[in-house]
């Protein structure tokens, strides 16, 4: 409830009467968390428009469509069902900056030990307004979303067999509706709205599932979303995985050819494959790199004027259509390029040839301690030197889990595998 009150203070600064959109994914814990936050918002006179189960990018879009002052999503994205989180969005539908989120966190933590019934005289949380807010359920939020897409995409998907994996998350109802609306023959999997199996062995973090189902159902293409549908991983009819690098690169080259890639640049992260860099550079497309995280991608896009950016993991932002990464929109954009140009999906592998890449995670007790270890740093330097200009090594902490991620690229998979394993073994012995 205090988080809701804090949100009332920081969202929509300057508005005399605030309106906030709230939504959640399918996790069982999302119901009581969202109700508590709604109570906090209402107590401060904020009107809440509740979209119920809705994708994270769907909420971001509703903020713009309904002219709200901000939004809140209850979701832990690709994480397991036991986790949950709270995401804040600004009036334009973009995520808050790190600084803005820290302000909310600090505000709540300052009062963490105080009772919710303490008076405002005992703390500086706003008093309960005499004009409390109203909670209004949004009628047919999915229809609003699909209507918006109908004005942005005209591609007819009739005759196309599409397999989709909704990760038992927020896209479970919405994604099949969207693809059916555009005429596709849809085979949908993992659409359980109970949320108890959200992301479990499915979705964008487990593309092997959609790969197998695409082949099994003789579909032309497969798409996998994560729990809140801000990520997209695809596969072709043979089950070969198409990650964010390939989708971004393929769309960027097409947009540049059509003259709609503003400033002829894209934004991606340090995780982007070396093959991606070479393919786009050969077409004269500038690449701006950021740290891992779609928030940082968006900030760099705004800074550089890029209209396309994203991550290998499947967060992809088409700025002219959505203010945040949207797996469903990314799928439609990708299909639009394929269909309007009459491309065979196999073409993309020659357009964006990739270096073998190996990524492994290792669970540790203290990420910072491990990464600051002189022994680990020495191992990283040695492996990096061994790869030379024909490969690269990236070792970084997970932003959301007690993991260190070790990634290597090389001319052969065996070299990448051995490079990663050397670092993993060193971390294991140090932890």
Catalytic residues: 77
Q: CA-CA distance, 153 to 329, in Å (whole number)?
A: 9
User: Residue 75 belongs to what H/E stretch?
Assistant: none
User: Residue 57 belongs to what H/E stretch?
Assistant: helix 56-65
Residue 30: which region, alpha, beta or left (left: phi > 0; alpha: psi -120 to 50)? alpha
Instruction: DSSP letter for 44, please.
Output: T
Cβ contacts of 363 within 8 Å, gap of 6 or more = 402, 403
- CA dist list (Å): 430 to 53, 86, 256, 373, 374: 43, 34, 47, 8, 11
Could you tell me if 167 and 158 are in contact, meaning their C-beta atoms sit under 8 angstroms apart?
no
User: How far apart are the two ends of the chain, measured CA to CA in Å?
Assistant: 38
Helix, strand, coil proportions of the chain in percent (round to 5)? 40, 20, 40
Could you tell me if 221 and 236 are in contact, meaning their C-beta atoms sit under 8 angstroms apart?
yes
State the residue for tokens 């900056």.
97
Q: CA-CA distance, 88 to 54, in Å (whole number)?
A: 14
- CA dist list (Å): 431 to 25, 362, 408: 35, 10, 21
User: Helices (DSSP H) in 259-356: which residue ranges?
Assistant: 274-281, 294-304, 327-340, 347-351
Classify 354 as helix, strand or coil.
coil
Cβ contacts of 360 within 8 Å, gap of 6 or more = 405, 406, 407, 420, 421, 424
């Amino acid at each position: 409830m205090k988080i809701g009150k804090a949100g009332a203070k920081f969202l929509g600064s300057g508005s005399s009467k605030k309106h906030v959109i709230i939504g959640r994914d399918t996790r069982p814990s999302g119901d009581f968390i969202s109700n508590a936050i709604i109570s906090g918002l209402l107590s401060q006179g904020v009107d809440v428009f509740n979209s119920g189960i809705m994708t994270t990018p769907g909420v971001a879009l509703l903020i713009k469509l309904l002219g709200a002052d901000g939004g809140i999503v209850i979701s832990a994205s690709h994480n397991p069902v036991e986790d949950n989180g709270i995401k804040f969005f600004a009036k334009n539908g973009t995520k808050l900056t790190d600084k803005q989120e820290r302000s909310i966190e600090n505000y709540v933590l300052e009062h963490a030990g105080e009772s919710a019934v303490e008076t405002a005289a005992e703390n500086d949380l706003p008093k309960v307004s005499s004009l409390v807010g109203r909670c209004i359920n949004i009628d047919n939020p999915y229809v609003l979303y699909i209507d918006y897409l109908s004005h942005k995409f005209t591609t007819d998907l009739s005759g196309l067999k599409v397999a989709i994996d909704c990760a038992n998350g927020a896209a479970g109802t919405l994604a099949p509706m969207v693809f059916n609306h555009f005429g596709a023959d849809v085979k949908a999997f993992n659409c359980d709205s109970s949320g108890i199996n959200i992301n479990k062995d499915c979705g964008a973090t487990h593309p092997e599932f959609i790969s197998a189902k695409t082949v099994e159902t003789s579909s032309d293409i497969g798409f996998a979303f994560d729990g809140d549908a801000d990520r997209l991983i695809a596969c072709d009819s043979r089950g070969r995985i198409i990650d964010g690098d390939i989708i971004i690169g393929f769309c960027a080259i097409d947009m540049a050819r059509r003259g709609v890639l503003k400033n002829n640049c894209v934004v991606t992260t340090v995780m982007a494959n070396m093959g991606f860099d070479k393919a786009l550079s050969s077409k004269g497309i500038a690449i701006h790199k950021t740290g891992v995280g779609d928030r940082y991608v968006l900030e760099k896009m705004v800074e550089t004027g890029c209209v396309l950016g994203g991550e290998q993991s499947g967060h992809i932002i088409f700025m002219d259509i959505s203010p945040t990464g949207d797996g469903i929109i990314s799928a439609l954009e990708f299909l639009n390029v394929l269909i309007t140009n009459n491309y065979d999906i196999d073409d993309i592998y020659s357009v964006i040839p990739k270096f073998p890449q190996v990524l492994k995670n290792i669970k540790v007790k203290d990420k910072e301690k491990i990464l600051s270890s002189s022994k680990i740093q020495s191992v990283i330097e040695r492996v990096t030197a061994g790869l030379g200009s024909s490969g690269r090594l990236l070792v970084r902490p997970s932003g959301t889990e007690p993991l260190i991620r070790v990634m290597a690229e090389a001319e052969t998979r065996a070299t990448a595998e051995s490079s990663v394993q050397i670092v993993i073994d060193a971390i294991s012995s140090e932890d």
